Structure 1
Amino acid sequence: MSTTDWLKPLEHILNCPVHAVSRSIAEWNDLISNADELWLGEHSTPSPIEGQRVEKDNKTWIVISSNEYEVNLLELEGSALQATEKELISWTLQLNRGTVAEKRSAALSETERQAMKLSDWIQKQLEADEPAYSLPDHLTVGSRLFNEMIPFLLVTEQPGTQQATYADLEKLLRSFMSDDILLIPLKSQEWLIWGSMSLLRDEDSDAFEEQEEESLEESLASIGLGLHEMLASEWIGECHLAVAHPASPAKGIIETTMLLRETINLGRKFHVGRNIHLPWMLQLERLLNAIPELQRAKYLEQSLKRADLFVESEMLSTLETFFTLDCNVSETAKKLYIHRNTLLYRLDKLKQETGLDVRQFRDAVLVKIILLLYKVTKRN
């Protein structure tokens, strides 16, 4: 039964106006902060729970349901409602929550049920002071999780879009990665994916046909690119994807999850606009992130006093392309569609104004650090 089906009968029984309304999480928190009376039940979680009540200015709001972005509320008008009537509504909504949860659990496939068990265990270890890094025996069904697999972390954060179900995403992944996958839901809109090592063999065969041998990291990056393009076009739009070196889920699932989360956080922090994040490409960013923010800001302030040239859009684009192409002048000029002498003129101008010549290794490292710190500081 939908919410609208029982609003009119409830309004008749209570003899007061009853509405179904939606509020953002921020608005719900404001209601709680300014409430005349408040009942949150036995739950201490920050997320809204069915049946929780807030009362203010002769109005009562009771949580019907919620997700990551908004709360659906029952809005009751009037001060004549008895406390027992409010408690009965809260109790009914709580009871309905338990019934829905039971029905959902019964509808889970065996694969999803096992994935949920893995998810619960992973979450507990990530929150623990001294986590266990190897899966317990009761979760390593058969020998599959002891085999090396390719780990990915998928994160989407798009308010207003419908969240994919486990079955939908699993089906989509199987079409790209073959049937041998392990999909584990973590937080809302966060999925841990383990793919078969056969993906690397497919990449190797393609490279062989092109007579161009790829490294392991180049193959992983290529797989990540293909997976991201498929997910972005056929699933939920733009998303963030990290991929790491192959590992055994049974032995390395916690360390790998921590690495992939850190990789996405670093990538989104230092490289806004990128959606594929690779841990071996973020070593310098990891080091800079460990430096206290105050010291980073102070160093950047001192560096930028030497010239505003660093932050000009043309120079930024030139330097980023130059570093991406391993400081190769000819390739950078081709990529930017400019004459080689034009590029040399820009680099000479930077040297004259800052004393830093990015064609020299030492200076190139300093400029790279300045650019990374500038990106983060500018957004803050």
Structure 2
Amino acid sequence: MSTTDWLKPLQHILNCPIHVHTISITEWAEVVKGADALWPAELNAYNPVEGQRAEKQNKLYFVAALSEHAVEILDIEPSGLSQPEKDLISWTLQLVRGGEAESKKMSSISETERNALKLSEWIQLQLEEAEPAYSLPDHLVVGSRLFNDMIPFLLVTEQSNTKLATFSELEKLLRSFLSDDVLLIPLKSQEWLIWGPMSLLRDEETDSFDDLEEETLEDSLESICSGLHEMLASEWIGECHLAVAHPATPAKGIVETTILLRETINLGRKFHVGTNIHMPWMLQLERLLNAIPEMQRSKYLEQSLKRADMFVEPEMLSTLETFFTLDCNVSETAKKLYIHRNTLLYRLDKLKQETGLDVRQFRDAVLVKIILLLYKVTKRN
């Protein structure tokens, strides 16, 4: 249905003039930024949808239709419109124009993307349930591929004000890096669930995964994740976060794995700002600390930092983080920091004198590690 088919009837019903303009998405964003009122209140300026509205300088603007780079808007003088009438126009545009756009979109996408959207819809529904179903229903299990073990990744992009890649663009990139046997599921506008084949883990000299030790498996997953992140960051969307988990069977564990990967990225972004690659097995302590009420965390940190503020000195923070990353190895830490071994020992002895905590002892190292993690979160809050 074209705009002219319903514009005159709408003008007659509202008894006020309505003008139609086509503007760029950037111009629409400027309207939103300077608006006196928005609907919905958390309106995303760079990702408009049909029915959204902005009120600015005694003008009411509705998003009527969208194209790749432009927005068709209705320009109405709101003086004679009640709140229910405004809501009714938004709802009608959402229902009619949004439905037309979705229908057109669905008719133009591939069968692979259509199946991915069905999986996404089911996953989102389960994530909102108090007791989700963890196994996929029969009508969503296409072929036998989802019954095979696969490697799960969760990708979260950062730039909301840039043009997002389409499903086909991202799938093409993933197939070039991982393999043709990749499953891509869009969850949110900036969140993608990716399942890669187990062949990524296969050593050239063996066809079996049974001999892989757990540590070796995790090292391999981290290496794959690192390479995938580097490719996506340089060739696709730029800044992004990527998490990987142990292999699982999508048909039986797709919801549980999605929950785990989301938690992993949230913990990584919360406790390790500046880190973009996240593994659940590296965030066990962070998961435990995150479960403690914030008030108790802050109280413990306040009591700990009263003993000395040396923990928060940039040089000491850098020293301790490197020391813990390298498993409390003095020689390797000194090399990494480009300092003499005795210089490092002097810093650790000074910390012990000021706080009574010797990080070369396991018990004290754990306490200091907890203090550092809590300090990072509390400082940002």
| TM over 0.5, shorter chain | yes
The verdict on how the C-alpha distance between 1:97 and 1:362 changes in structure 2, with shifts beyond 3 A counting, is same
Q: 2:210 is matched with which residue? A: none
The verdict on how the C-alpha distance between 1:81 and 1:237 changes in structure 2, with shifts beyond 3 A counting, is same
| Alpha-carbon shift at residue 91 of structure 1 (Å) | 4.9
Q: 1:301 is matched with which residue? A: 302
Q: Structure 2 CA distance, aligned partners of 1:228 and 1:116?
A: 23
Q: Structure 1 CA distance, aligned partners of 2:36 and 2:340?
A: 58
What amino acid maps onto 2:320 in structure 1? L
| Alpha-carbon shift at residue 59 of structure 1 (Å) | 2.3
Q: Does 1:324 align with 2:318?
A: no
Gaps of 5+ in 1: 34-39, 206-212
Higher mean C-alpha deviation, range 322-331 or range 154-163: 154-163
Q: Structure 1 CA distance, aligned partners of 2:170 and 2:135?
A: 26
What amino acid maps onto 2:347 in structure 1? R
Contact 1:28/1:71 (8 A) holds in 2: no
Contact 1:22/1:72 (8 A) holds in 2: no
Contact 1:152/1:193 (8 A) holds in 2: yes
What amino acid maps onto 2:59 in structure 1? K
| Alpha-carbon shift at residue 135 of structure 1 (Å) | 0.6
The verdict on how the C-alpha distance between 1:244 and 1:15 changes in structure 2, with shifts beyond 3 A counting, is closer
Q: Structure 1 CA distance, aligned partners of 2:154 and 2:275?
A: 15
Superposed counterparts of 1:56-75, under 5 Å: 58-64=58-64, 73-75=73-75
Q: 1:122 is matched with which residue? A: 123
TM score, norm. by length of structure 2: 0.83
What is the CA deviation profile of residues 108-147 of structure 1, one whole-angstrom value per residue up to 9, with x for unaligned ones?
1111111111101100100011100111111112211010
The verdict on how the C-alpha distance between 1:346 and 1:166 changes in structure 2, with shifts beyond 3 A counting, is same
TM score, norm. by length of structure 1: 0.83
Q: Structure 2 CA distance, aligned partners of 1:101 and 1:24?
A: 26
Q: Does 1:350 align with 2:351?
A: yes
Gaps of 5+ in 2: 207-213
For the residue of structure 2 that corresponds to 1:371, the secondary structure is helix
Higher mean C-alpha deviation, range 364-373 or range 51-60: 51-60
Contact 2:268/2:278 (8 A) holds in 1: yes
| Alpha-carbon shift at residue 25 of structure 1 (Å) | 10
| Alpha-carbon shift at residue 159 of structure 1 (Å) | 2.6
Q: Structure 2 CA distance, aligned partners of 1:283 and 1:112?
A: 35
| Alpha-carbon shift at residue 161 of structure 1 (Å) | 1.1
Contact 1:25/1:71 (8 A) holds in 2: no
What is the CA deviation profile of residues 54-102 of structure 1, one whole-angstrom value per residue up to 9, with x for unaligned ones?
66774222233689xx99753334758999x988898567533322211
The verdict on how the C-alpha distance between 1:64 and 1:157 changes in structure 2, with shifts beyond 3 A counting, is farther
What is the CA deviation profile of residues 202-240 of structure 1, one whole-angstrom value per residue up to 9, with x for unaligned ones?
5888xxxxxxx9710000000000000000000010100
The verdict on how the C-alpha distance between 1:97 and 1:306 changes in structure 2, with shifts beyond 3 A counting, is same
The verdict on how the C-alpha distance between 1:62 and 1:237 changes in structure 2, with shifts beyond 3 A counting, is same
Q: Structure 2 CA distance, aligned partners of 1:17 and 1:255?
A: 49
Count of residues paired in the alignment: 355
Q: 2:368 is matched with which residue? A: 367
Q: Does 1:192 align with 2:163?
A: no
Q: Structure 1 CA distance, aligned partners of 2:296 and 2:253?
A: 34
Contact 2:20/2:75 (8 A) holds in 1: yes
Q: 2:28 aligns with which of 14, 22, 30?
A: 22
The verdict on how the C-alpha distance between 1:178 and 1:73 changes in structure 2, with shifts beyond 3 A counting, is same
Q: Structure 2 CA distance, aligned partners of 1:147 and 1:306?
A: 54
What amino acid maps onto 1:96 in structure 2? R
For the residue of structure 2 that corresponds to 1:247, the secondary structure is coil
Superposed counterparts of 1:52-201, under 5 Å: 58-64=58-64, 73-77=73-77, 79=79, 91=92, 95-201=96-202
The verdict on how the C-alpha distance between 1:269 and 1:51 changes in structure 2, with shifts beyond 3 A counting, is closer
Q: Structure 2 CA distance, aligned partners of 1:51 and 1:293?
A: 39
Q: 1:223 is matched with which residue? A: 224
Q: Structure 1 CA distance, aligned partners of 2:146 and 2:18?
A: 58
The verdict on how the C-alpha distance between 1:185 and 1:88 changes in structure 2, with shifts beyond 3 A counting, is closer
What is the CA deviation profile of residues 300-323 of structure 1, one whole-angstrom value per residue up to 9, with x for unaligned ones?
000001111100000000000000
The verdict on how the C-alpha distance between 1:228 and 1:80 changes in structure 2, with shifts beyond 3 A counting, is same
Cα root mean square deviation, aligned: 3.7
Contact 1:151/1:192 (8 A) holds in 2: yes
Q: Structure 2 CA distance, aligned partners of 1:88 and 1:285?
A: 47
Higher mean C-alpha deviation, range 299-308 or range 97-106: 97-106
The verdict on how the C-alpha distance between 1:53 and 1:375 changes in structure 2, with shifts beyond 3 A counting, is closer
Higher mean C-alpha deviation, range 163-172 or range 135-144: 135-144
The verdict on how the C-alpha distance between 1:357 and 1:243 changes in structure 2, with shifts beyond 3 A counting, is same
